Amino acid sequence: MRIGAWCVVIAACGSSANHPSGVTGGSAALIHAEWIDRSASPCEDFYKFACGGWTKHAVIPPGATTTSSLDDYVAENQKMVRALVADARDPRIASFDKACMAAGDPGGDPGASDALAGELRAIEAATDRSSTARAIARVQLLAGTIGPWTTGTGAMFGLGTDYDFHEGGLVRLQLDQGGLPGGDPTLYTATDDATTARRATYRAHVAKMLELSGITPSRAAHGADISLEYETTLARAHVAEEVRRAPEQTDHLLDRAALARLVPHLDWDAYFAALGRPQVARVNVLTPAFYTAVDGVLARLQPSDLQLVLRWQLLQSLGRALPRGYQAEVSAYTAAATGAQGDAPRADYCTGEITTLLGDALAAGFLEHHFPLASRQAAEALASQIFHEMEASLARADWLDEPTRTAGLAKLHRMHPKLGGPTQPATLAGLEISAQGHLANHLHAAAFQAAHFLARVDTHAAADEWLTSPQTITAFFDVSTNAMVVPAAIFQPPFFTAGDPSGLDAGRAGWVIGHELSHGFDAQGRKYDTTGALHDWWSPAVAAEYERRASCVADQYSAYEPMPGVHLDGKRELTENIADVGATRLAFLAYQHARAGKPPLSEAGFDSDQLFFLALGQWNCELTTPEATRAAIATDVHPPGHWRLDGPLADLPAFAEAFHCPAGTPMAPVKRCTVW
């Protein structure tokens, strides 16, 4: 099970050229002095102090809901991937890109309507339990949500693959909650005026999309009502994220007979056969109560109504891959729902498609050109220092008894850091791609990728399995394999530079390493042992003390109010916030180690420690539309960048010391929270 997907911080950032590139040492600037708002007090609001100047001039690019100080870093990564696409040895990459780029022009995807019509005809043929089950499976195969873990999303309901809770390395098929194209469950359940208006806008969008797919306006309107009924029922059955992320609450391994009793109105034999996994004998159902709700809807709706629900869920999942006639409606609704204006550049969209669906084919080239031996060695040295600091933390934590400390150190010593990328990237053998039609290519690639992950079910995964490409800007901790994964995309300037003389890499790439390492000991990761099995290795008294410390973090973040009357949910965000607090302390300790014996740094009137905190702060700068901010607060497990910075720094005494903050100020609170 993956936790701590750091990509959430920046994956949605658009490319923008309105910020100067960051740098990390040598004769170049260590920080962006012009981004600092010196009218703000670092002791009252450090985020405003570090980022206020940047925020005044930031502009959200077309098609995006947010922009950040990492936009240039993201854009540079895009350029690297585009260059690999142009030079790809696999001709399917060039063909996919050519068709994708052409589809942005009028008439550029002449086969799109036929490709979509074929899938819609298959949905219309779903007239009984068996054919409906096959149609559900087909839509899920095409939706792009079947992966190496389950995320609580998916067409109709959530489906994914992930490791068994008790047998290390064994991959299980997992059924999760999902089926909400509108995203936030409160869209369907809240009764305030603003949400009611949002819901009406959403319903009108569903009706319009269904009408564009070739059905009559009256049937499209009926389909919108039925889809909203289906989704509302599922939204009411959704399990809160803080509950779903507790592994003991999602450990429900059922055999096929028990699954059929739980959801008798779905033909599971037909469903699994359509997925290409007819032999699956046992499935982990993460949220059984949710599936009781699914069964109730399947029992109540007629096949003709389920056809409409499936039609909408397929259309929604395809987004910009849909025929051109849909794009104006997609863009208009996106703007209304998220505040994003216009569309992202076509090249960015196509690069994202290739990275997501065909990324393995570019892995070897990215590692060869952008992660040389010197970078690998420097990354390993930084990770080693972060691990050393965590080891020291476990050793000196006076609230641990010796049996728990010994078990914690054993887990740390068995932890496997994966840095860079796989030695043997997966291939695209068997995938058919044409230069003539993007939608057809998208459908083929999505189904191919889903089949790839489904083929892992009931097998033991290889120890060096990566599950992400090296050019993807992400990082995560896999509790089930006790492995920390940081792809090569993280180890690029200005985020990371081999031989960085300033040591500030510890506050960038080192922070990411520390964040993922901390996930092994957060409120979720602490429940897994050295083998990745769900196992309680804590003595009762120490476990109680851990919960007390974790509650302190939850309460701290729940008190933050990003928008008037809207507070963060410290319980839902707990694992990420614990990891952020741990990462900040570990990164600072690693920075102190890197600076030991070297002349102090000085720039723009700031000393060495102050520069560390400013460098850390200035990659958290972000500007987000109000709509996206509100949605993120309601659903995201990470807080906005403002509180990803100020929250952990308020808990670190070294920050208050560096900026001489009086006790009792917001960044030097009397009560601090510390887990590790």
How many Å apart are CA 454 and CA 471, to the nearest integer? 23
What are the tokens at 185? Answer: 């469950």
| Span 493-499, average pLDDT | 90
Percent of residues, the chain, with pLDDT higher than 70 = 96
Q: How far is the C-alpha of 439 from the C-alpha of 114, rounded, in Å?
A: 10
Q: Given this model, what pLDDT does residue 80 score?
A: 95
Measured CA to CA in angstroms, residue 668 lies from 156, 236, 449 at distances of: 47, 41, 49
Cβ atoms within 10 Å, residue 423: 10
Res 3: pLDDT: 60
Going by C-alpha positions, the residue among 362, 356, 353 that lies closest to residue 427 is 362
Q: Rounded to whole angstroms, how far apart are CA atoms 497 and 649?
A: 24
Strand order in the sheet with 158-163: 158-163, 171-176, 282-285, 253-255
Over residues 539-561, mean pLDDT: 97
Overall fold of domain 123-322: Neutral endopeptidase; domain 2 (1.10.1380)
Peptide bond into 345 cis (omega under 30): no
Radius of gyration (Cα) for the chain, nearest Å?
25
pLDDT above 60 for 20: no
The string over 279-295, giving b where at least 16 C-beta atoms fall within 10 Å of a residue's C-beta and e elsewhere, is: ebeebbbbbbebbebbb
Enter the pTM of the model: 0.90
161 sits in which H/E element: strand 158-163
The per-residue pLDDT for range 228-237, each reduced to its tens digit, is 999 999 999 9
DSSP letter (8 states) at residue 152 = S
How is residue 45 annotated by DSSP? -
Enter the DSSP assignment of 149. S
In the predicted structure, residue 10 carries a pLDDT above the cut 70: no
- Whole-angstrom distance, CA of residue 580 vs CA of residue 615: 16
pLDDT at residue 12, as a whole number = 32
Domain boundaries, the chain: 2-20+29-82+354-658, 123-322
Tokens of 60: 């959200």
CA 119 – CA 116 distance, rounded (Å):
5
When pLDDT is cut at 50, 70 and 90, the band that residue 570 belongs to is very high
Q: What's the CA gap between 111 and 439, in Å, rounded?
A: 8
Res 26 pLDDT > 50: no
Give 547's contacts (C-beta < 8 A, 6+ positions apart). Answer: none
DSSP character string of 206-258: HHHHHHHTT--HHHHHHHHHHHHHHHHHHHHHPPPHHHHTSGGGS--EEEHHH
Topology given in CATH for the domain delimited by 2-20+29-82+354-658: Collagenase (Catalytic Domain) (3.40.390)
pLDDT of residue 151 exceeding 60: yes
Q: Give me the chain's average pLDDT, please.
A: 92
Residue 322 DSSP one-character state: S
What's the mean pLDDT in 512-525? 96
Task: State residue 622 phi and psi, 5-degree precision.
Answer: -155, 155
Whole-angstrom Cα distance, residue 73 to residue 65? 18
Q: Are 234 and 179 in contact (CB under 8 A)?
A: yes
Q: Are 606 and 544 in contact (CB under 8 A)?
A: no
Per-residue model confidence (pLDDT) at position 4: 59
Please provide the DSSP assignment of 609-651 as one string: HHHHHHHHHTTS-EEE-HHHHHHHHHH-SS--HHHHHHHHHHT
Apex 91 CA angle, 90 and 94, nearest 5: 110
Q: What integer pLDDT is reported at residue 482 of this predicted model?
A: 92
Write the burial class of residue 411 (CB in 10 Å: 0-12 exposed, 13-18 middle, 19+ buried): buried
User: Could you tell me what percent of the chain has a pLDDT over 90?
Assistant: 84
H or E element: which one contains 340? none
**Mean pLDDT, residues 553-577 taken together:** 95
pLDDT of 127 = 96
Residues 468/453, Cβ–Cβ less than 8 Å? no
Segment 411-428, tens digit of pLDDT: 999 998 999 999 887 788
Q: What are 67's strand-pairing partners?
A: 623
Type of residue numbered 330? V
Residue 593 has pLDDT above 90, yes or no: yes
Q: Which two tokens mark 151?
A: 């995320």
Residue 449 has pLDDT above 70, yes or no: yes
Count of CB atoms situated within 10 Å of the CB of 151: 15
Query: What DSSP string runs through 496-563?
Result: --TT-SS-GGGGTHHHHHHHHHHHTTSTTGGGB-TTS-B---S-HHHHHHHHHHHHHHHHHHHT--SB
Structure confidence by residue, pLDDT tens digits, 274-298: 999 999 999 999 999 999 999 999 9
Categorise residue 646: left if φ over 0, alpha if ψ from -120 to 50, beta otherwise: alpha
pLDDT band at 7 (very low <50, low <70, confident <90, very high): very low
What SS3 state is found at 280?
coil
Q: Which tokens hold the place of 177?
A: 């909650």
Residue 2 clears pLDDT 70, i.e. is over it = no
What is the arithmetic mean of pLDDT over 4-20?
A: 37
Determine the length of the chain.
676
Answer yes or no: are the C-beta atoms of 661 and 668 closer than 8 Å. Answer: yes
Indicate the helix (H) or strand (E) that contains 487. Answer: strand 483-487
